[in-house]
Amino acid sequence: MKKHGFLYELRKNKALFLMAAPAVLLTFFLAYLPMSGLVLAFKNFNYSLGVFGSAWNGFDNFAYLFQSGTGWLITRNTILYNLMNLITSQFVAVIVAIIISEMVGRLYKRFVQSVIFLPYFISWVIVGIFAYNLFNYETGVLNGLLRAMGSEPLNLYTSENAWMWVFIICLFNMWKWTGYNSIIYIAAITGIDAECYEAADIDGANIFHKIWYITFPAIRPTIITMILLQVGRILRGDFEMFYQLVGSSGQLFQVTDVIDTYVFRSLATSGNLGMTAAASFYQSAVCFILVIVVNKIVSKIDQDSALF
Amino acid sequence: MPKTTSVRSNKIKVAGATIAFNVIGYILISILALVCLIPFIILISGSFSVEQEIRLHGLSILPQGFSTEAYEFVFRQPMDIIRAYGITIFITAVGAGVGLILLTMTAFVISRKDFKYRNVISFYFYFTTLFNGGMVCTYIFFIRYYHLKDSLLALILPGLCPVFYMLIMRNFIQALPTALIESAKIDGAGEVRIFFQIVLPLLGSGLATIGLFIALGYWNDWYNAMLYINSEWKFPLQYMLYNMTQKAAAMSRIATLLGIPVEDLPSTTLKLAMAVIATGPIILLYPFLQKYFVKGVTIGSVKG
């Protein structure tokens, strides 16, 4: 089968290779070449010597990262936020999709769907402005309401009240993504055979029976796929969200710092780049292994739900 | 006749459950829709409020007093915002145009079931979403080795070829009838010709959908500008807005331009007015473009 080697393919499909070439090259320069920068994780970075000239220092950067406690803190925060956001946003999206699918008034249905999808289109900068104007101490809507009711205003940007940001971040994440996620579930519900529901009607099932015994099982593969896609990102924080909602409010970092904001901050303040690269390396490596392992397990249980 | 009564009562029960479900459903969904809308309403009414009233009572859903002062301030020196709009429109148009061509060509290649290396190439792209150098490595390479500091290319290159959209585009192409491509091949058409003369014209809504997703990414980008751009005149819209809300320096620059003391600047309402102006085009275009995005999300959720 010598004629089916790479060179044979290259000659036969020259045009196809050429068409893919620009994107392949672009990705090489934007993604693959910079990966080599991860060697910094094992080096004592010195700007004048550059990435490849700096001296090696083994696993010192990883040791510092975790001995200082920062490594554990940002790992814990990233995982907990992602788990919470994953559960709440998918749960709400499923409920919303079921309700919207059952709605009868077409005009109102379309209107509501559009409004719920709208936040997806807004940049995090604008969302950050929303958050600030809702919660700031002087002119925020929340404190205006509290003052009007005669209560003490709340300063949310202090460390005593930092825990509230867990819920604020979760709510904003839901606000931004519910529309997007529910479209995916609505599409899955639309694909269910109408005969199932008709048969259930004849058997005297009510709407709750139908949702529980027909809709839920039918969209289960979609739910699993959505969760799997997110599990692979469990160590990746949504930088834009955290940065715009929390910004540089140092008092909140204990509760809100995730790996990505930590990496950005040390880049911005010219902190220890070796340690930062160590955090990035650890983040990517864990993600990669997780995706492979989870996919292996899923493909053993149910081949159709696997990602690849 | 006990049987008919039980059937009838069961029917009533079934109908009752449906009514109960719908009542609760409509209420919940209406609350959710309100929650999605309220921040926008606060933004708009805040921008039309009187600054002193806001300082006294805080923002709320209704405007505090009524004033167009903030907008008058913005448009007295409109050059900043016009320039930022120009930069954003430029990177959005170039990025979405070039990106769409690159991405569709590649998607065509990996959609071809008769092409032996399609899986290798797909994985080459997919791998970058699983493992990458992260912000630090990209930053170092952009600045030190590609010399993109303060270059508009640093805003365009990163969003040019998103892997996720490439896979959606592949789904769009695979939905086309394969017989068309096969018969063109039998007639002796080359791959390039098949792509440009057969696939592209049939891909209308797919191109619109993915083009809009890429464009939205560029329109809303502030992050790359924060990392790479120093000169204020190169700030895209979103980053200019962010910069203004964060930095007192940006506010005093506006005050100097207008020749007034900083304290007299209606800072809160001004920021809100700028946010309205920056978001306006998206909200206005949204009703017309929404269907393409819904289609994109739906097709993207079909596993390929």
Is domain A68-257+283-305 classified as CATH 3.40.50.300?
no
Beta-bridged to residue A31, according to DSSP, are: none
Name the 3-class secondary structure at A287: helix
Per-residue pLDDT at B251 exceeds 80: no
B235 and B266 part of one domain = yes
Contact by Cβ (8 Å): A39, A54: no
Amino acid in position A267: L
User: Are B190 and B247 within one domain?
Assistant: yes
CA B62/CA B76 separation, integer angstroms: 26
Q: Do residues B41 and B173 share a domain?
A: no
CB nearest to A175's CB, from B36, B191, B268: B36
Q: Is the same domain home to B198 and B121?
A: yes
Whether the Cβ atoms of residue A166 and residue A258 lie closer than 8 Å to each other: no
The model's pLDDT over A38-71, given as tens digits with 9 standing for 90+, comes to: 888 898 888 778 778 888 888 888 988 888 888 8
DSSP H helices in B141-266: 153-156, 163-174, 178-186, 191-193, 200-202, 204-219, 223-228, 237-246, 248-258
Inside any domain, residue B62: no
Structure tokens at A18: 């050429």
Q: Quick one: average pLDDT of B214-240? A: 93
Domain assignment of residue B186, yes or no: yes
Please indicate if any CB of chain A lies within 8 Å of the CB of B21: yes
Q: In chain B, which among 211-230 make CB contacts under 8 A with chain A?
A: 216, 219-223
By CB neighbour count within 10 A (0-12 exposed, 13-18 middle, 19+ buried), where does B42 fall?
A: buried
Domain containing B114 — which CATH number?
A: 1.10.3720.10
- For residue range A211-252, list pLDDT tens digits in order: 999 999 999 888 888 888 788 788 888 899 999 998 777 788
B169 and B30 in a common domain: no
- Shortest distance, CA B275 to any CA of chain A (angstroms): 7
Q: Does residue B92 lie in a domain region? A: yes
> Do the domain assignments include residue B128?
yes
Interface size A-B, in CB pairs within 8 Å, comes to 270
SS3 B114: coil
pLDDT in tens, B49-97: 888 887 777 777 888 888 888 888 888 878 888 999 999 999 999 999 9
Is the residue at B70 inside a domain?
no
Note whether B92 and B237 are same-domain residues: yes
Do B9 and B114 lie in a common domain? no
| Domain ranges, residue B155 | 76-300
> In this model, does residue A12 exceed pLDDT 60?
yes
Regarding whether B156 and B34 lie in a shared domain, the answer is no
Q: Is the CB of residue A127 less than 8 Å from the CB of residue A219?
A: no
Partner-chain contact A102 B22, CB within 8 Å: yes
Q: Is residue B67 part of a domain?
A: no
Within a domain: residue B185? Answer: yes
Distance CA(B44)–CA(B62), nearest Å, equals: 9
Is it the case that residue A151 has pLDDT exceeding 80?
Answer: yes
Q: What are the chain B neighbours of A116 within 8 Å (beta carbons)?
A: 29, 32-33, 36
Q: Return the HEC string of B150-166.
A: CCCHHHHHHHCCCHHHH
State the distance between the two ends of chain A, measured CA to CA, in whole angstroms: 28
At A57 the pLDDT is: 86
Domain range summary for chain A, segments of one domain joined by +: 1-33, 68-257+283-305
Total domains, chain B: 2
Question: Which of A203, A207, A299 is most worth mutating to test chain B (most B CB atoms within 10 A of its CB)?
Answer: A207
Residue B121's contacts (CB-CB under 8 Å, 6 or more residues apart) are: A20, A24, B106, B109, B110
Answering whether pTM is above 0.80, one says yes
ipTM beyond 0.95?
A: no
One domain, residues B98 and B151:
yes
**B31 in a structural domain:** yes
| Contact between A94 and A307 (Cβ < 8 Å) | no
**Mean of pLDDT values over B144-167:** 92
Do B47 and B124 reside in the same domain of the chain? no
Q: How far is CA A17 from CA A12, A13, A64, B100, B190, in A?
A: 10, 6, 46, 18, 13
